[in-house]
Amino acid sequence: MSFDTRIQMNGLPISVYAPETVGCVVVDSSGGCAATTSSGGLMNKKCCRIGDSPLIGAGTYACDLCAVSCTGEGEAIIRATLARDVAAIMEYKGLALQKAINYAIKERLDGGKAGAITVSKDGEVAYGFNSNGMFRGCATEDGFMEVGIWE
């Protein structure tokens, strides 16, 4: 697969991000939430680096409120415990999912570039990112489908 290296995101060719990250969040009809994230990491990563994706609470998290899968600069995501923070903000601040992800992205990343896909136990779907774009899609059981890259 080849990507146009002239297209950039966060000052890097979009190919740095495009081919390797797959996150998924789901909710079932009884409100059960699950999340998973797969990543090849970032280009030029250090040997043996472990990113945020396999770290529960950092890049991936699900509980009885929501499911969250993150992408972007793993070190910033880990420092922020970004995925868990979305759930904590919902629980402790009483915010709805979209407001919780907006808050986490704005307040917790400390300059890092990242984003997340999320779904709540009630089926609310929300995205948040502070990068120029984030590849994403959504499908529901009644046939609704959408994809997006930009804001």
What is the contact surface with ligand ASP in residues (CB under 6 A)? Answer: 20-21, 39, 41-42, 51-53, 59, 71-74, 77
Minimal distance in Å, beta carbon 7 to ligand ASP?
17
CB neighbour burial string for 85-123, b if at least 16 within 10 angstroms, e if fewer:
bbbbbbeeeebebeebbbbbbeebbeebbbbbbbbbbee
State yes or no: 52 annotated in a binding site: yes
- Examine the residue annotation and report whether 21 is marked as an active-site residue of this protein: yes
| Two structure tokens written together for 78 | 């880990």
State yes or no: 49 annotated in a binding site: yes
User: CB-wise, 21 or 81, nearer to ligand ASP?
Assistant: 21
| Two structure tokens written together for 94 | 């009483």
Helix (H) or strand (E) holding 127: strand 125-129
Minimal distance in Å, beta carbon 29 to ligand ASP?
30
> Residues 5, 21, 81, 118: which is the catalytic one?
21
Minimal distance in Å, beta carbon 96 to ligand ASP?
25
Q: Which residues contact 71 (CB under 8 A, 6 or more apart)?
A: 17, 21, 23, 37, 39, 59, 114, 115, 116, 134
Minimal distance in Å, beta carbon 46 to ligand ASP?
11
User: CB-wise, 45 or 93, nearer to ligand ASP?
Assistant: 45
State yes or no: 74 annotated in a binding site: yes
Q: Which candidate, 20, 18, 19, 23, places its Cα nearest to that of 8?
A: 18
State yes or no: 56 annotated in a binding site: no
User: CB-wise, 71 or 102, nearer to ligand ASP?
Assistant: 71
- List, as residue ranges, the binding site: 49-52, 71-74
Catalytic site residues?
21
